[in-house]
Structure 1
Amino acid sequence: MGLTILFIVIALAIIFDFINGFHDAANSIATVVTTKVLSPIQAIIWAAFFNFVAFFIAKFIIGEFGVADTISKIIKEDIVTSFGANPSVVIMAALLAAITWNLLTWKLGIPSSSSHTLIGGLAGGALASTGFDFSSINIEIILTIVAFIFVAPVIGLLAGNIISIITLNICRNAKPHNADTWFKRLQLVSSALLSIGHGLNDSQKVMGVITFALLANQSAIIDTDMSSWYLNDVFNWKEWFITENSTDIHDWVPIVCFSAIAIGTLGGGMKILKTMGNKITKITPIEGFTAQTASAVTLFFTEHIKMPVSTTHVITGSIIGVGMVKRFSAVRWGVTISLLWAWVLTIPISALIATAFYYFLILFF
């Protein structure tokens, strides 16, 4: 039963990663589509490709998966186990809650955070399994992530503001037509960087979940012998699943996670694209370039400090920062406030959904 639940958890994690891809696809392609640099189909393929390129950057340039390590430490396995709960069932409830909320907000065209959906689900599942004992979750990590609901878009806003002002001053003597032509080309670069940042941050969250599930099932993995001679003697499947700690991540985990989010991105995200593209503020090629660049810089910074943040929040803050350079009223603050409410409510609602799923799942596992 232990390994069966583990495989279900891994499958759900991959499904969530795929949904994350098409849910958040609009974040990295919204401006490049609304400024007509690429068609929606071209932009989606472009973003998906660089989502996967992020794997090679994390593996061979950065040399670690810091965000995955942070996510894997949100739930305290020993506390959950001490209450007689199965950590894998907790993860299953969290993933089902995250998938449910993501599909609902995608259907409604609300650019909510897949990251915070997952974090809320993890917290809700752990609390439900321990009779709402808050020692079962790493409060310090969760509070820091909650703080970045506000910090990340502010960083994006400031970066968008600063980069926009610098860019406008550099190009102040350029002819409008020439400037538009150049910045349409540069948007391809900034969009690629943003897609890499998206892949780096969001794929690692699912890696953290899978790593936690593997660590929680080490005894079951070690004690299990497959009946198939191929799996035991030739394939040696245990080498793929035995994990020593949260930084000991087998290559198949990031490859699967980065692939899933890239394939999910190919699924689109046109509903949310409309909100992110022009409903917050009208975007021109130069503004699209500065917003994407600011977002990419912010995501690279948060990856450096191993902080899981919402790509949705970051790009929204960057677009607002760019819009404010024109004039304060250029930003449609009514839309922005509605988005803020969705962000704030995501974690508690996801936690409640995960709690309900956990109570349902323990009837069967």
Structure 2
Amino acid sequence: MTAANWRSHPHAPWAFRNIASFLPVARIAGTGVDLPIGPPLPPLPPIAVTGNDGALLDLPALLRATHADGFLVLDRGRIVFESYAEGMTATTPHLSFSVTKALTGLLAEILIAQGLVDPATRTGNAVPELGRSAFAGATLRGLLDMVDGVGFDETYADPDAQIHRYSKHFWGDGGGGVLAALQALPVTPPVPGFAYRTPATDVAGLVIERMTGTTLDALLAAHIWGPAGAADAVWVRDTGGRVIASAGLACTLRDLARVGAWLLNNDSASLARARAAIAAGGDRRLFAAAGNETRPGFSYRSGWWIDHPAQAWNALGVFGQRLHLVPGEDIVIARFGSHPAASNAPTDLFHARLFAAIRAALRR
């Protein structure tokens, strides 16, 4: 395994669950409350779903076919299904990639609800080093919802796309970390509309840190990880020493699900306001105009992909990381993976069918 190939097979399954052994990390202190919560429920009934090739597969076969490293279902706070691939256990941390964006977005919404962060703050005012960058005029709200309009090519399948040069400042040979990478991006006029871009969340993370005077890892521990009862986790540091707001958190699958259940059920005033802000979703018109054919009826809000037709929320990370929340039914589905393809788009419709089948089976 090398710095260039750890995200590719055959190395990816091992690398994703051993990230702290070869990359610098910050430790996130947790409290580690046990799951399941409350009296036991019947296990998940048998599930069968049609795959992308038209074949009918049961759940174990589906997990193997999509390179799932772990899959967990919570129904009203209790585990009704849990499965791990070779090398993974309930206590194994796994890199969540861009699921981290949703946690950064949730953190931002909590801080906004508490009056500690102003969503109208412009990047150049909070982070003077980016005062001449492409993101200088972007507001925190625009960054969180990815409607700031700054151009960036995030086509994972294109080896020449900007995302690959940019991510070298995460875990490669790009010096100075995210801040240096952001300063080096071309300055072009913003184009109105929704566009998914990793740098937007990284800028949001810098704005939050500067406005609060506290690092993201400390903020996450204080406002989400500890209150949710999660165990210790790690957060990858970029080449400049900062945690990566858009892609770096590694935790257990149970803790990812636990945070989802806490988000849906905790009654604190600030979390209730954060939950309402996320549930409202982003601008559906702008989202639809951007394409996203595999996510019809969705919008994007603070790192969360809101599935309005299904009334569900999704946190998504490359190579098959997913957190699926159904607020109205108190269902949480958490998934880690090491799919050979980075983009989740090829399996979007398949997972929509799978999650719908799980919901239907639980309610039967």
Q: Which has the higher strand share?
A: 2
Q: Which has the higher helix share?
A: 1
TM-score (normalised: structure 1) = 0.25
State the structure with more CA Rg.
1
Structure with more relative contact order (C-alpha pairs < 8 Å, separation 6 or more):
1
TM-score (normalised: structure 2) = 0.25
